[in-house]
C-alpha cells in the first residue's frame, strides 16, 4: 500500500472543515456562508464544471472582483485537475486577448461588469468554448455572449462531487500573467505542491513572531490585493488552512473597505501602499475604527510617511516582499518584542524594510561578477532567490525563461542591501537604478524622503541623462491639494538628509518637477518606463 500523500490543494480544506465547520465566510458584508457550506459549494462547482466538459489539464479562467465565488474557484478548479487562470481585469482589451489565447482558456467565468469587454473581443477568443456568468443577482444582463449558464443556478442544479481525485502534486494548478511595463505580458504558473508549500511557509513565518504582525486562529481576514494578482499573495489559502473568518470585499471602494474592517472586525489584511494611502486620506474613511487592523504592505516599498500615518491611526503596518514569479512571498519585516520598545522613528524604519526571508527561502545579493556583496546594509547587489515555490519558467517563452534563471537561482530583477541580521532593504528595480557619476543612488530611498516633505502627496524619482554625471535624479512630484512646493524647497529638504549622511552626496544633484499624477501600471505600481517616456523625451544630455 502506498501511504505517501501528495501535496494537493484539497488538503488545505481538511482541518478547517473538521474543526469548525460553522466559521464564517462573508461577501461584501451582505452574504454569509459557513465553511461547511463553502465546502459544499466547492463540490457543487467542481461537479458543474465537469458537467460542462471541464477535465484534467483544461484551463478555466475567472474575471471577477474579490468574492467568495473567487475563493470557491481557487479550490474547485485545481481540485479537479484543471488549471485556474486568474485574469487581470485591468488589462487593456489587446492584452486580454493575448493572455486568454496564450493560456488557452477553455472556459471563462465572468462577472457581469466585464461582459461588455468580452463582447468587444469575443471574435478573437479562439480557444474559449464556454462563458459562465457571475452575478450578485437581479435581472440577467442583456448580452450577445453565448452564456452556458449562471454560476448560482449551475451550483443549485448540480450534485456535489463526492470525492476529489488524487493525482501528482506537480500538476499545474494556477497560471496568470505578470503586468510588466514593457513587452507582452508573461505567463507564470504554479503546481499544487508549490502552493501547498507556500501556504505552509507563509503560515510558519506569519505565525512565528512573538507579538507584532502575527496571523493566527483568532484573526478575521480580508484581502485587499486583487485575487487575480498572484492569488492575492496566496493568503486566501493560508486563511482557509487556518480556518479563520474571511471577508471578501467585492470591488475596492475605500469607504466600503474601511467600513468592512470596522463592522466585520477585520484584523488581518494585505495591500499595496497606494491602497493604504487611500484609506488613510479619504475623508469618508475617517469615521471608522481601524485600530485593531494589522496589514502587510507589499507590491512596492512602503514609504515611511505612509507607515507613520498608519501608526497614528493605530494600524500595525509592516512590509512583505515578493513578485509574481515567486508565488509570491519571499520576506517579511516583523518586529521582535525588543524592537517594539524602540522609539517611533526606529520602528518605522524597521517596518519599512524589506525584511527577513521566509522559511525555505534562500536569498543572495551578488555584484556584476556574481560575487556576494558584504552584509553591511550599504553595498547593493542583484537579488537572487531559491525556494520550493518559484515559477519553473515563463509559460511557452524560452528566451525570457533563460533570463529568469541563472545556475538554479531566480533573478528577481531587484537591487537590495542586507544588514548583519539578514534583513533586506530593496533599493531599486535593476532597470530603474540611477547611476550618478558611477555611484548608485537609490530612487526608492529618495522617494521615501521626498514624501516626508509636508507639501508632497506622491513622488517618483527617475534618472535624467546628463553629460557630466551620466545620470542625475529627477523627482516628479504631485503636490498635496492647495500646495505648490518650489523646486528649491524639495532640493533643500533632500539636502538635509544628505547632510545627515542618510543619502549619498550625489543626491543633491536632484531636479524636481511638479506633475498632476504619477503614471501607474494596471496593479497600481509606479510606471517609470512611462514616466521616462513622458518627461525625458526632450531632455538634452
Ligand atoms: P509583481 O510581479 O507585479 O508583483 O512585482 C514584483 C516587484 O514589485 C518586485 O520585483 C519588486 O520590485 C516590487 N516589490 C514588491 N514588494 C516590494 C517591497 N516590499 N518593497 C519594494 N519593492 C517591492
Tens digit of each residue's pLDDT (9 = 90 or more) over 490-509 = 999 999 999 998 888 889 99
Instruction: Supply the pTM of this predicted model.
Output: 0.93
Co-location of 415 and 334 in the same domain: no
Q: Could you read off the pLDDT of 198-214 as tens digits, one per residue? A: 999 999 999 999 999 99
Q: Could you read off the pLDDT of 231-283 as tens digits, one per residue? A: 999 999 999 999 999 999 999 999 999 999 999 999 999 999 989 999 999 99
Which has the closest alpha carbon to 38: 250, 228, 248? 248
Co-location of 312 and 446 in the same domain: no
* Catalytic site includes residue 218: no
Domain containing 367 equals 359-429
Q: Which H or E element spans position 46?
A: helix 35-51
| Closest C-alpha to ligand 1, atom 5 | 323
* Domain harbouring 487, CATH code: 3.30.300.30
Segments of 81-122 assigned E as strands: 83-86, 107-111
Does the pLDDT at position 163 exceed 70?
yes
Q: Which H or E element spans position 405?
A: strand 405-406
Cβ neighbours around 166 below 10 Å, total: 11
Beta-bridge partners for 295: 269, 317
Does 14 map to a domain? yes
3-state SS track over 221-234: EEECCCCCCHHHHC
Quote the ligand 1 centre to 354 CA distance (angstroms): 10
| Closest C-alpha to ligand 1, atom 21 | 301
User: Which single residue is written with the C-alpha cell 484581502?
Assistant: 223
pLDDT at 2: 77
Does 201 map to a domain? yes
Quote the ligand 1 centre to 222 CA distance (angstroms): 21
pLDDT at 180: 65
Co-location of 181 and 66 in the same domain: yes
* Catalytic site includes residue 489: no
| Closest C-alpha to ligand 1, atom 4 | 323
Co-location of 380 and 517 in the same domain: no
Last residue of a domain, one of 322, 351, 380: 351
Confidence of residue 538 (pLDDT cuts 50, 70, 90): low
Co-location of 72 and 180 in the same domain: yes
For residue 201, whether the previous peptide bond is cis, meaning omega lies within 30 degrees of 0, is no
Quote the ligand 1 centre to 382 CA distance (angstroms): 14
Co-location of 393 and 327 in the same domain: no
pLDDT at 313: 97
Does the pLDDT at position 361 exceed 60?
yes
Q: Could you read off the pLDDT of 40-76 as tens digits, one per residue? A: 999 999 999 999 999 999 999 999 999 999 999 999 9
pLDDT at 433: 85
Co-location of 251 and 275 in the same domain: yes
Angle between the N-to-C axes of helices 68-79 and 235-242, in degrees from 0 to 180, rounded to the nearest 10: 90
Last residue of a domain, one of 294, 322, 351: 351
Question: Which of 152, 440, 489, 505 is flagged as catalytic?
Answer: 440
Quote the ligand 1 centre to 162 CA distance (angstroms): 41
Does 1 map to a domain? no
Co-location of 135 and 243 in the same domain: yes
Does the pLDDT at position 182 exceed 80?
no
Percent of the chain with pLDDT over 90: 86
User: Which single residue is written with the C-alpha cell 485545481?
Assistant: 78
Last residue of a domain, one of 318, 333, 351: 351
Ligand 1 atom nearest 413 alpha carbon = 10
Does the pLDDT at position 540 exceed 60?
no
3-state SS track over 311-379: HHCCCEEEEEEECHHHCCEEEECCCCCCHHHCCHHHHHHHHCCCEEECCCCEEEEECCCCCECCCCCCC
Co-location of 378 and 336 in the same domain: no
C-alpha gyration radius of the chain? 24
Cα angle: 11, vertex 15, 19; to 5 degrees: 160
Confidence of residue 522 (pLDDT cuts 50, 70, 90): confident
Average pLDDT rounded to a whole number, residues 223-229: 96
Co-location of 276 and 343 in the same domain: yes
Amino acid at each position: 500500500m502506498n501511504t505517501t500523500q501528495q501535496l494537493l490543494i484539497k488538503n488545505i480544506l481538511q482541518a478547517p472543515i473538521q474543526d469548525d465547520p460553522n466559521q464564517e465566510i462573508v461577501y461584501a458584508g451582505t452574504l454569509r456562508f459557513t465553511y461547511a457550506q463553502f465546502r459544499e459549494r466547492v463540490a457543487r462547482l467542481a461537479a458543474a464544471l465537469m458537467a460542462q466538459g471541464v477535465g484534467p489539464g483544461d484551463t478555466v479562467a475567472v474575471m471577477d472582483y474579490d468574492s467568495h465565488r473567487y475563493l470557491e474557484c481557487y479550490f474547485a478548479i485545481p481540485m479537479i485537475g484543471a488549471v485556474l487562470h486568474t485574469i487581470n481585469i485591468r488589462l487593456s482589451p489587446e492584452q486580454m486577448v493575448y493572455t486568454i489565447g496564450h493560456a488557452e482558456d477553455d472556459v471563462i467565468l465572468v462577472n457581469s461588469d466585464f461582459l461588455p469587454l468580452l463582447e468587444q473581443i469575443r471574435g478573437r477568443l479562439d480557444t474559449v468554448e464556454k462563458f459562465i456568468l457571475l452575478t450578485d443577482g437581479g435581472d440577467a444582463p442583456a448580452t450577445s455572449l453565448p452564456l452556458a449558464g449562471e454560476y448560482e443556478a449551475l451550483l443549485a442544479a448540480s450534485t456535489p462531487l463526492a470525492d476529489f481525485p488524487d493525482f501528482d502534486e506537480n500538476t499545474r494548478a494556477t497560471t496568470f500573467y505578470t503586468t510588466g511595463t514593457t513587452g507582452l505580458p508573461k505567463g507564470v504558473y504554479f503546481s499544487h505542491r508549490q502552493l501547498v508549500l507556500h501556504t505552509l511557509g507563509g503560515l510558519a513565518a506569519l505565525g512565528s513572531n512573538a507579538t507584532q504582525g502575527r496571523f493566527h486562529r483568532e484573526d478575521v481576514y480580508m484581502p485587499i490585493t486583487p485575487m487575480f494578482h498572484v492569488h492575492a499573495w496566496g493568503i486566501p489559502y493560508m486563511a482557509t488552512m487556518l480556518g479563520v473568518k474571511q471577508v471578501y470585499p467585492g470591488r475596492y471602494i475605500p469607504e466600503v473597505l474601511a467600513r468592512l474592517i470596522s463592522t466585520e472586525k477585520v484584523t488581518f489584511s494585505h495591500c499595496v501602499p497606494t491602497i493604504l494611502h487611500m484609506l488613510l486620506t479619504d475623508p469618508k474613511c475617517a469615521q471608522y475604527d481601524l485600530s485593531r487592523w494589522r496589514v502587510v504592505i507589499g507590491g512596492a516599498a512602503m514609504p515611511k510617511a505612509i507607515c507613520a500615518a498608519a501608526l497614528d491611526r493605530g494600524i500595525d503596518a509592516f512590509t512583505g516582499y515578493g513578485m509574481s514569479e515567486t508565488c509570491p512571498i519571499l520576506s517579511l519585516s516583523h518586529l521582535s518584542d525588543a524592537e517594539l520598545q524602540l522609539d517611533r522613528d526606529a520602528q518605522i524604519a524597521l517596518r519599512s524594510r524589506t525584511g527577513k526571508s521566509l522559511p525555505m527561502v534562500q536569498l543572495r545579493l551578488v555584484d556584476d561578477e556574481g560575487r556576494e556583496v558584504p552584509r553591511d546594509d550599504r553595498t547593493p547587489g542583484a537579488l537572487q532567490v531559491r525556494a520550493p515555490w518559484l515559477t519553473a519558467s515563463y509559460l511557452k517563452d524560452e528566451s525570457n525563461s533563460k533570463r529568469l534563471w541563472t545556475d538554479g537561482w531566480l533573478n528577481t530583477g531587484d537591487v537590495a542591501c542586507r544588514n548583519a541580521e539578514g534583513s533586506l532593504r530593496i533599493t531599486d528595480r535593476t532597470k530603474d537604478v540611477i547611476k550618478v557619476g558611477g555611484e548608485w543612488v537609490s530612487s526608492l530611498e529618495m522617494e521615501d524622503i521626498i514624501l516626508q516633505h509636508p507639501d508632497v502627496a506622491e513622488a517618483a524619482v527617475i534618472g535624467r541623462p546628463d553629460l557630466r554625471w551620466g545620470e542625475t535624479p529627477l523627482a516628479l512630484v504631485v503636490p498635496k491639494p492647495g500646495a505648490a512646493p518650489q523646486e528649491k524647497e524639495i532640493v533643500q529638504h533632500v539636502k538635509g538628509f544628505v547632510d545627515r549622511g542618510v543619502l549619498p552626496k550625489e543626491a543633491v544633484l536632484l531636479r524636481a518637477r511638479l506633475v498632476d499624477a504619477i503614471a501607474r501600471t494596471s496593479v497600481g505600481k509606479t510606471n517609470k518606463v512611462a514616466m521616462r517616456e513622458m518627461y525625458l523625451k526632450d531632455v538634452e544630455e
